[in-house]
Chain A
Amino acid sequence: MFSMKSSKPAMAALTVAIIFAGAGCKKAIVDPFPASGAIAGWQKTGDTRVFAAKDLWQYIDGDADQYIRAGVVTTSTSDYNYQNHLEAVVDVYTMGDSAGAQKILAGDESKTGKSISLGDEGVAFEQSVTFRKGVSLVRIVAYSSTPDAPQALLALAHGVEAKL
């Protein structure tokens, strides 16, 4: 479920939906966040927050610029918890085109991580998974390192990928 924290993000999401629909996308509105229990062990612990490009600084000021340069249109984020011992965040950046998603992933993260078969391209570390699919760039990050984190994150990533 999407819950907008103010009317501005709501308008931004609506605008994105209209843009997608106008561009002839297959899906007018995409909710990429698996519900609690949809992926074994994972609970969605917060509402989804949505930021238009111009408001992205409210989420991650300083980091926002690189996404804006790559053509981000909207960013959605939600918190998750795995079996009550691993907290993680899922960020979904919807770019203007797939080249934007490719540009971000082509950063140095992809040079040191483990390449994974997910979406169009993906990379995994012990505590994070990043992949792109079409215009979407998804980054899933755990806040701590546990033995089961890599496998759990990958499962959640597949759940997100299936909804894109």
Chain B
Amino acid sequence: MKDRREFLKEVTAGAVLMGSGGKLAVAAIRDANPQPAKSKIVIARDPELHGTGAKTSAQPDEQRVQALLDRAIAAYTGHAKPVAAWKSLVPMDKVIGLKVNGLGSKGIATHPALIMAVAERLQQAGVKPGNIIVFDQNVHFLQACGMTVNNDPSKMRAYSSDVAGWDDEESAWGVAKIRLTKILSRDCDMVINMPILKDHEGAGVTFAMKNMYGVVDKPFTLHGNHCNPAVADLNCIPVIRDKVRFTIGDAMSSVYDGGPGFHPERLWYPNTLLIGEDRVALDTIAWEMIERKRAEAGLPTLEAAGRPPHYIAAAADPSRSLGTNDPKRIHRVEI
């Protein structure tokens, strides 16, 4: 493990994660043109994840979640076998963080079945159990995701930022001036972002980029102007930009209004996983999903509700170049 200063030095030297062979490890080195011509996003659905009719369950079926994840990763990587697919994505000899989201309580948190499915495939692909760290802002959020706090290096670990602590130094980019969790800056070499799709009272939509509010010490300082451009600026902070390279987005259940808290009367089951590297493209699709559902429910658009997620466009702006929100540049693979 290394501290943030060492990590940044490695990024500058172009040496980060090079020896590990994972596709995303190599991609972590910034070049002059970091964006591909099109960003591939896999939209994987299983309408029966939560059962059907009167047998609908609040928690998705674990085996179906595993199968859906496997199909999604296969479609993304082109490798039919899960182990080969994961080996192509992730450096096996590094510490991999899974940034989950339990802020909305266990009613609307990253599903335990998905977290365990990802952790299982990582281990089968060769990542040591102790090199997998599930984390979120505090222990209650972790518990909402079904995790028990554990820092035994012989097992998959799960602990929270309020326990691990925050960087002594402030990180800053644009309006974002925060201290990062040491789990991100010190403990992990790469992070898989595992947000859950929700409407958001301030930001409009919370998904891939907004989930990074859970890695900073004072997220409430980033709420002004509907979190714009704070969400985009936060994701430009080098440690976040470089380490958080891949998203396995949980849209198996969602709240389409009243978020980010749990409102069961606004809960719906999109039964979907969204995966990809381009966090802006992922959020663009997430926004579309929320808008479609709101329209179906007879609710106003987020723009009309006074909280459009303009931070998505800000993130795509050339000054930040975090990804694309241009539908023509998003290669959607729906399975």
Contacts and interface: CB of A to CB of B under 8 A. Distances in A.
A61 B265 contact: no
B201 A143 contact: no
Interface string A132-162: 0000000001111100000000000000000
Nearest to A6: B162
B263 interface: yes
B264 A62 contact: no
Nearest to B221: A57
B274 to A, nearest CB: 20
A60 B106 contact: no
A97 interface: no
Interface stretch (A20-28, A31-39, A122-130): A122-130
Contact of A60 (B57, B218, B260): B260
Give the residue among B104, B106, B201, B220 with the most A Cβ atoms within 10 A: B220
B265 A125 contact: yes
Contacts of B259: 62-63
A63 B107 CA distance: 15
A145 B58 contact: yes
Interface in B60-107: 103-107
Interface in B189-226: 200-203, 206, 213, 218-220, 223
Chain A facing B: main interface SS: mixed
B264 A142 contact: yes
B107 A62 contact: no
Contacts of B20: none
B261 interface: yes
Q: How large is the interface on B (under 10, 10 to 19, 20 to 34, 35 or more residues)?
A: 20 to 34
Interface in A71-90: 87, 89
A107 B102 CA distance: 24
B58 A62 contact: no
Contact of B106 (A61, A65, A87, A128): A87
B150 to A, nearest CB: 19
B106 A64 contact: no
A58 B216 CA distance: 12
Contacts of A49: 140
B107 A141 contact: yes
B262 interface: yes
Given A62-B223, A65-B202, A145 B264 contact: yes
Given A58-B138, A60-B260, A126-B264, A143 B106 contact: yes
Interface in B125-179: 137-138, 140
A3 interface: no
B258 interface: yes
Contacts of B107: 141, 143
A120 interface: no
A119 interface: no
Contacts of A109: 258, 263, 265
Interface in B241-290: 257-265
A63 B105 CA distance: 12
Nearest to A144: B58
23 contacts: A49-B140, A57-B218, A57-B219, A57-B220, A60-B103, A61-B103, A61-B137, A61-B219, A61-B260, A62-B206, A63-B201, A64-B220, A65-B202, A65-B220, A65-B223, A89-B105, A109-B265, A125-B265, A126-B265, A141-B105, A142-B264, A143-B107, A143-B264
Interface of A: 49, 57-66, 87, 89, 108-109, 112-113, 125-128, 141-145
Interface of B: 57-58, 103-107, 137-138, 140, 200-203, 206, 213, 218-220, 223, 257-265
